[in-house]
Structure 1
Amino acid sequence: MDNRSLEEKKKIIYEFICDTRYVPMKQKELAVLLQVEKERRAELAQALEALLAEGKIQLSKRGRYSKAEAKMVTGVFTSHAKGFGFVSVEDQEEDIFIGEDDTKDAFLGDTVQVALKGKSGGKRQEGVIVQVLSHGITEVVGTFERSKSFGFVVPDNQRITRDIFIPLEYTKGAVTGHKVVAEMTDYGAGRKNPEGRITEILGHGNDPGADILSIVRAYQIPMEFPERVLNQAKRNAKPVSEADMQGRLDLRDEVCVTIDGEDAKDLDDAVSVRKEGENYILSVHIADVTNYVQENSALDWEAFLRGTSVYLVDRVIPMLPHSLSNGICSLNAGEDRLTLSCIMTVDPKGKIIDHTIGETVIRVTRRMSYTSVKKILEDRDEAECREYEELVPMFEEMDKLAGLLRRRRRKRGSIDFDFPESKILLDELGLPAEIRPYERNTATRIIEDFMLAANETVAADYYWQAQPFVYRVHEKPDAKRLHKLGLFLQNFGYSLRVGGDEVHPGEIQKLLDRLEGTPEEAMLSRLTLRAMQKAKYSTDCTGHFGLAADQYCHFTSPIRRYPDLQIHRIIKENLRGRLDVGRTEHYETILPQVAKHASETEQRADEAERETEKLKKVEYMEQHIGEIFEGVISGITQYGLYVELSNTVEGLVHVNSLEDDYYEYADDAYELRGQRSKKVYRLGDRVRIRVKGTDRLCRTIDFELALSTGE
C-alpha cells in the first residue's frame, strides 16, 4: 500500500472485494492482486479489520474475505422533524440511525424492515429502511387549515414532518383553527403528502380543554367507557353483605386510616400501626377490586386495554368506571370494605421478621390528608392535633416506623431520586393560574415507605412459593452509560465507583448525597437518572436495582394499575387453594402479555402526562412575556443555556441572544465561555431572565438574560 489515508485504503479494498470478477479470497491473495509489498501488509490488515468492524465485509471460517451480506432487522420507526429518524428494535439497547435519504417514506410509528450499514463515526449503528411492513399510526391529531379547494391538518406531533392533505368532501365541516382527528387514508410517497379524512372535531384550539383532549386523542388513550362496561360496573357495585364477608378476617374494629391528597377520590389503601412489645405491627390494607372485576368480564378486558389510570393536569382518565373506583372499591371512612391485607411484624431495627397476607374486611376510622398529617407531625399544629387527638399517638408511631424502614432500605443501597414535581393549578377556563413545586413531606414519605414494604413483602412471598406472578423489575445500568457518566462526573470533581462493568445502587445514592445542596445537583442528578434503565413489568424476577431489592412488585393500587389487579387474583386463588396445575398453566400463558402491555400503557400515560404539563407551562408563561424572573442554569449546550425557575418551569436562553460577546461551548467543562470578555456561564449559576416568547405547537419557552443577580 502507498501513503494513502486509512479511509482511502478501505475504499479501494472494499471496491476490490465487491467486484464480482473476484471470488472470496484470503489476505495473502488480496495482497498479491493489490500489489502490496510484503513489508506493508500490516497496513492491509489494519484496513481489513476496520471494514470488518464496520460490517462492510465478512470473514469465512476458512479465512476468506467477501462483501458482507446485509443483516436485516425489524423495528419501529420514529421520525425526527429534521428528516432523519431512528428504528427501535425489541431487546436491543441502542436505536438504529436512519439518514434522511434512507427512510423510504416511512411514517412515524411504522413497523419497518431495515438493512444494517456500518456505524456512523464508529459509534452508532446505521441502517436503510428496505420495506414498510405495517403502519402504527392510523389517526393524526392536529389543527385544521382550510383553503379554497382543499384542507390540511398541521399535526400536533412535531415528529410527523408533513401536513395531512384533506379533500374538501372529507372535512366534516371543520373550519380553520379547529382541533381535529384525521383518519389516515394514504401515507404519501416521494413528494406526495399523506392524505386523510376528518373523523372528529375536538373543538376550536382556544376552547377550554380542547388542548388536553388533543393530547389524549393523539396518544390514543380511551376516555369513554362502553355502555356494557358501565352497566356491569353499576351491577357489581353493591354494598358489602354478610355473604361477602364470609371466610375473611374481620378487622373492622381495628383503628386504620387513609392518607391521601385532598382531591383524591379513589382511596385504595389504608394503613394501621400498633406496638406489640418492642415490635411494630404494620397493616397495609388494599381494596379487593377483584371481587368486583371478574376475570374475562367486559370490565376486566376494558381494564386490561387501558392498563393504568392516566393523571393529567385537568382530569383523571380512570382504569375503572367511577361507580367502582370512587365507590365500592374506595376505602371510604365509616363504611365496610373488602380488602387484601399485608400485615407485617417489624423489629426495632426496621427488619420485617414476619408477615401474613390475607382476605380481610375493614372499616376506615378517619380519612386523613397529607396536609393534616404534616401539620400534626411537622408543624405540631394545636388545632389539628385537637381535631385528631385520638389518632396522634398512632401517627407518631407511624413516623418512627417509617424512619426505621427508610434507614434500613438506604443502608442496603436503595436510591432516592427526590425531584420536585410540578403542581399546576387551573382556573375555570382550564388556564394555568399557578405553578409551584409539589414537595414531599413527612406524610407522603410515611405512605411511600409503607407501600414499598408491602410491595416487597408480597413479591418475596410469591417468589419463594414459585408461583406465576407479575414483578416490577429495574435492571442494572448499561456498562457503557455508566462509564460515560463516570467520565462526565469527573469534570465536576465527583467520582462513581464502578466494579468491572457494574455499580452497586448504594454508590449511586452516595453520589446523590454528595450532590445535595450543590449548584449542579439538579442537572447531575437528572443525568444520573438517565443513565438508569427504565423500570417495567415482567414475569421474571430479576430484581429492582433502584430499590436494591431482590424481589419487588406492584400490589398496592389495583384501582389504577392492571398488574396489581392481576396479582390480587393470583393471591386470592392461592389463599383459597385453587391455584392447581391448570390455573398455574393458565397464568403462565397470559402473564407475559399482561406484563408487556402494562409496561406499554404505563409509558403511554407517562408521555401524555409530560406533554400536558409542558403545554400548561407554556400557556402559563404566555401570561408573563416581558417579565423578569430569577432562576438557576440547569443545563448547558452548544446552542444555549437552560434556566429553571423556582416554580419548575424551564426555558432556553439561545446562544444567539447573548449579544455582549461571542460564546463558545466547552464540552469538557460543560460551560459557555465568552471569547473576548472571558465571561463564563456554569451549571448552577443564578441568573435573572426575561420571558422572551413561547411556542405552543413545539411546547417550548424562550428566555433572554436580564442583569445577573451579582450586578
Structure 2
Amino acid sequence: MTEQTTTPVIDPFADREAEKYDNPIPSREFILEHLAELQQPMRLGPLAQSLGIDEEDEERFEALSRRLKAMLRDGQLIKNRRGAFGLIQKMDLIKGIVTGHPDGFGFVASEQVERDLLLSAHEMHKVLHGDEVIVSIVGEDRRGRQEAAIVEVTRRANEELVGRIHIEQNLAWVHPNNNRITQDVFIPADGLLNAQEGQIVRVAIVMHPSQRHGPVGKVVEVLGDYMAPGMEIDTAIQTFNIPNKWSEELLAELAAIPSVLTEQDYADRKDLRSLPLVTIDGEDSKDFDDAVFAKRRKNGWRLVVAIADVSHYVKPGSELDKEAYERGNSVYFPQRVIPMLPEKLSNDLCSLNPNVDRVCMVCDMSITEDGQLERSQFYQAVMNSKARLTYNQVHQMVTDSSSAFRAEFAEVVDAVDQLYELYHILHAARAERGALEFDTVETRIVFDGERKIDKIIPVVRNDAHRLIEECMLMANVAAARYLKWHKLPIVYRVHEPPKEEKLTKLRGFLKDFGLSLEGGDEPSAQDFDQVLQAAQGMPSEHLIKTIMLRSMNQAVYQPDNKGHFGLNFEHYAHFTSPIRRYPDLLIHRAIRQAWLKQGAQGFAYNEEDMTRMGRHCSDTERRADEATRDAVTFLKCEFLSHRLGEEYDAVISSVTNFGMFVELDPLYIEGLVHVTELGEDYFHFDAVRHCLKGERTGKVYRIGDRVKVQVAQVVLDTRKIDLRLINKPADEVLVVENDSDDFDNPVSEQEGEGEAKKKRRSRSRSRPNNRKRRTRSKAKND
C-alpha cells in the first residue's frame, strides 16, 4: 500500500481566508474544486491529506472537519454510506426547495433542472413547504413528470407556524393556516398555553416531520379568536413570516435623525424649490415618493421626476438598511400597511409632502417630439412640492375646463396641463413601441363598522393614473441606461419572453381562431400586440387575451440585464419607489456612486451581492402577494358564507379537468363549479382549447362564457367556495380536430395530481380568488 504524503496546495481564496482566521484552512470554493478534480468521494482523513492538512495538526484538522459539516448542512456536499464526502451533482443528486400543494403532494424547485420535480404525498410526509432538500430522481408519473425521493433535508424552513387549534378530549392539534402545509401539528398536553378550541395560535415546532411521525409543536402565543376583526391580516403576517416589528437598535438609530432638514442636508444639492413640482397619488395615500414637472421646449420636452432621497437617510449596513432589506418591500393589506421603513421616514422625512422642503434624487430628462428618451441627467436636489393632488382631481382638471379644481390649484394648473400634453405623446410612443396592455380589473374592499366586507368595487383607472405611469416608466428606463453606461452592478427589473414550450402551445391555441403569432423562435412584444389588436371585437377576445396573459413569465430582479419584454424596453430598472421597494434604494445608491466617477471600484456591492439581493427581493415581492391574497381571500369567503343559496351571474375565468372557476359579476369573487355540476354527460377537458366539452350533448364551457350560479358551500378554513350551476346555456359546439393532450393545465400544472383523490371524495372543491397576473404596469408599480 502506497503511503500518502502531504503536499502543499495553493488555494486561490487563501488571502480572504487569512483575513478571517489566524490559522486558515482551504476555502469552501477550493474544497469543491478539489473534489471535482479528484473525481471520487473522499473520507475525512485522505481528503485532509490531499488538501495539505496533517491529522497531527489538530487545530486545522478540526477546523476542516467543522467546515465539511457546515458544507453538508448547507447542501454543498453530501456524505455517502461509507462516510466519504462527495459532490451532489456527481452523485446524480439534486438540491432544491420544496413547494407543497393543498392536495398533499409537492414539488422540488431547483436551478439544476428545468422543470420542478414531483414529490408524492408519501415523500411529503417527511418535510414541510419551504424546506431545503437533496433528492434523487426515481422515475416518472403518468403525465411524464420526473418524480423524486428525498435523500436528506438540509434546512428546515418552518420553526414556527400559525393555525387554528382543535382540542378533543386529551388530544390537540393545529391545522396550519398555510394551505401548502397539509400536515397537522400535534400539540402535547403541556404545550397548550391555555389555548381554547378554535382559536388562532402561533406554534413553535419542537419536532420536525419524518417518515415515522408528523410535526410536533407547542403553543407559544394565542393570537385571538378565529373570526375577530383584523385577525385575517394578523394571521397572514404570521403565516408568511412578514417582519412587522422594529428593533430597539433601529428605533435608537431612527431617533438620532433630526425631524427637520438641517443645514448639512442642503449641502451640495441643486435648489428646485421654485419649480412647480407636484405629487399625484390616490386619495388614501400617505407616502408620496415621487413628484413630477413637464415643460415644452423648442424641439421637445423637459420632464423632471423627483424621487424621495431615501438613500440620504438609510445607509448601507445600518439597522434601518438591514431591516429594509429583510422586509424587501412594503406590504399593503386592506386598511393596513406593513411599511418597509418606519413612519418617521415613510410618511414624513422621505415623503414629498406639500409646502415643506425635502431632499430628493432627480431624473431630469429630455424627451423628443415623438416621445423618445433623448438624454437624461441625475442629481441630488432639495424641492418643495407645490401641491398634493389626487388622480381624480387631476383627471377632472385636464378633462373639464370648468372644474373647480382648476381654480383651487391655479398655481400649478399650467404645469398639470403640460404634463397631460406630454402624456399623450408618451402614450402614443408606447403604442408604437408595442408594449403589452391586458385589460384587467382591480378592486377595492369597502368595510362596514365591524371591519367586515360591505361591498367590493372596481378601481377605475383614468388618464391621471396613466400620466404618472408614463412618467415613472421614463425615469426607470433612464436610470437603467445611466447605470448600464457606468458599468455598475445593479438589479434590473427583468421580464423575459415566454419560454419555447409555452410559445408552441400558444400558437397551437391561436391557430383555431385563425390567428398567428409572428416572430419565429423569438417573437417581440410587438408581435404579441398585433395578435391582441387582431383579436379585438372577436367573440373569443376575452379567452384569447387570458391565454396570452398566462403564457407570460413573472418579472424578477436580477443583475443580468435581459430587458423588459412586456413593456418592450431594452433597459429597465426600478428607481421611482425607494420608500416601499428595496431594489429602488439599491438603484439610488448606484446612481450616487456614479456621481463619484469611481465606477464599480469602491462600490458597496458586487455582482454576486446583486444576484443574492435580487433573488431575495423577488421572493419578498411574491411573499407580499401571497400574504395579501390570503387575507383578502378569507375576507371574501367570510362575506359569501353569509350568502349561501344566493344566485349570481358569473363569467368563466378558467377551466380545468375537474371543473371551471367562475367570477361572480358584482362581487369579483371566484369559486369552483365542479365538473359533476355541468349536467348529465361526460365532460372532457381540452387542454389546448381551454374548454370542457360534453361527450353526448356537445355542450362546451370556455373562458369568457357567461353562466348563472348559486353559492352552495363555503369552507373558511381552506378558503374554498363551491358553486352550483343553475342554468346550462346551449353554447355553440366547438368542433375538435386535434386530440392533443400536451397543453398544461391553464391554472397550474400542479392542479391535476389530486384529481383521483377528489373524485373519490365525490365532493366539489374550490380555490382562493387568484386574480389574473398583470403584465400591464400599474401606476408607480411597473
TM superposition score category, shorter chain reference: 0.7 to 0.9
> Normalising by structure 2, what TM-score?
0.78
- How much has 1:586 moved relative to structure 2? 4.4
Structure 1, residues 570-624: CA drift from partner, whole Å, max 9, x if none? 21233245x4664137444533322221111111112112222222222222233
Determine the structure 2 residue equivalent to 1:530.
550
Instruction: Return the alpha-carbon distance in structure 2 between the equivalents of residues 468 and 597 of structure 1.
Output: 16
1:346 aligns with 2:367: yes
Question: Could you tell me the percent identity over the aligned residues?
Answer: 37
- How much has 1:376 moved relative to structure 2? 2.2
Q: Which among 172, 194, 198 is matched to residue 177 of structure 1?
A: 198
The one-letter amino acid of 2:166's match is: E
Question: How does 1:38-57 map onto structure 2 within 5 Å?
Answer: none
Determine the structure 1 residue equivalent to 2:755.
none
Aligned to 1:706, what secondary structure does the other structure show?
strand
1:99 aligns with 2:99: no
Gaps of 5+ in 1: 1-67
- How much has 1:561 moved relative to structure 2? 0.8
Determine the structure 2 residue equivalent to 1:650.
670
Change (3 A) 1:517 1:187: farther
CA contact (8 A) 1:631 1:644 kept: yes
Instruction: Return the alpha-carbon distance in structure 1 between the equivalents of residues 702 and 318 of structure 2.
Output: 58
1:78 aligns with 2:114: no
When structure 1 is superposed on structure 2, of 597-606 and 696-705 the one drifting more is: 696-705
When structure 1 is superposed on structure 2, of 151-160 and 182-191 the one drifting more is: 182-191
Change (3 A) 1:199 1:466: same
Determine the structure 2 residue equivalent to 1:419.
440
Determine the structure 2 residue equivalent to 1:615.
634
Q: Which among 643, 652, 659 is matched to residue 640 of structure 1?
A: 659
CA contact (8 A) 1:519 1:685 kept: no
Question: How does 1:52-131 map onto structure 2 within 5 Å?
Answer: 71-90=92-111, 92-103=113-124, 105-121=126-142, 123-131=144-152
Structure 1, residues 239-287: CA drift from partner, whole Å, max 9, x if none? 1233311211101001111000011111000001111224211100000
CA contact (8 A) 2:127 2:209 kept: no
Change (3 A) 1:681 1:544: closer
Determine the structure 2 residue equivalent to 1:401.
422
The one-letter amino acid of 1:513's match is: Q
Structure 1, residues 405-424: CA drift from partner, whole Å, max 9, x if none? 22223323322233212211
Question: How does 1:164-563 map onto structure 2 within 5 Å?
Answer: 164-190=185-211, 192-378=213-399, 382-499=403-520, 501-516=521-536, 518=538, 520-563=540-583
Instruction: Return the alpha-carbon distance in structure 2 between the equivalents of residues 524 and 677 of structure 1.
Output: 25
Structure 1, residues 44-89: CA drift from partner, whole Å, max 9, x if none? xxxxxxxxxxxxxxxxxxxxxxxx9972111111233333221100
Aligned to 1:349, what secondary structure does the other structure show?
coil
Instruction: Return the alpha-carbon distance in structure 1 between the equivalents of residues 702 and 553 of structure 2.
Output: 28
Determine the structure 1 residue equivalent to 2:74.
none
Root mean square deviation of aligned Cα: 2.4
Determine the structure 2 residue equivalent to 1:584.
603
The one-letter amino acid of 1:421's match is: E
Gaps of 5+ in 2: 1-88, 732-782
Change (3 A) 1:694 1:523: farther
1:135 aligns with 2:156: yes
1:689 aligns with 2:709: yes
Change (3 A) 1:546 1:171: same
Q: Which among 595, 613, 637 is matched to residue 594 of structure 1?
A: 613
Determine the structure 2 residue equivalent to 1:62.
none
Instruction: Return the alpha-carbon distance in structure 2 between the equivalents of residues 597 and 510 of structure 1.
Output: 35
CA contact (8 A) 1:237 1:323 kept: no
Instruction: Return the alpha-carbon distance in structure 2 between the equivalents of residues 266 and 414 of structure 1.
Output: 29
When structure 1 is superposed on structure 2, of 620-629 and 169-178 the one drifting more is: 620-629
Aligned to 1:690, what secondary structure does the other structure show?
strand
Aligned to 1:583, what secondary structure does the other structure show?
coil
Aligned to 2:609, what secondary structure does the other structure show?
helix
Instruction: Return the alpha-carbon distance in structure 2 between the equivalents of residues 85 and 710 of structure 1.
Output: 38
The one-letter amino acid of 1:637's match is: T
CA contact (8 A) 1:145 1:177 kept: yes
Q: Which among 714, 718, 726 is matched to residue 698 of structure 1?
A: 718
When structure 1 is superposed on structure 2, of 89-98 and 156-165 the one drifting more is: 89-98
Determine the structure 2 residue equivalent to 1:566.
586
The one-letter amino acid of 2:525's match is: P
- How much has 1:205 moved relative to structure 2? 0.5
Change (3 A) 1:523 1:350: same
Q: Which among 642, 648, 653 is matched to residue 629 of structure 1?
A: 648
Instruction: Return the alpha-carbon distance in structure 2 between the equivalents of residues 519 and 374 of structure 1.
Output: 32
Change (3 A) 1:493 1:580: closer
Change (3 A) 1:580 1:703: closer
> Normalising by structure 1, what TM-score?
0.85
Report how many aligned residue pairs link the two structures. 642
Change (3 A) 1:599 1:637: closer
CA contact (8 A) 1:114 1:131 kept: yes
- How much has 1:504 moved relative to structure 2? 1.1
Change (3 A) 1:135 1:618: same
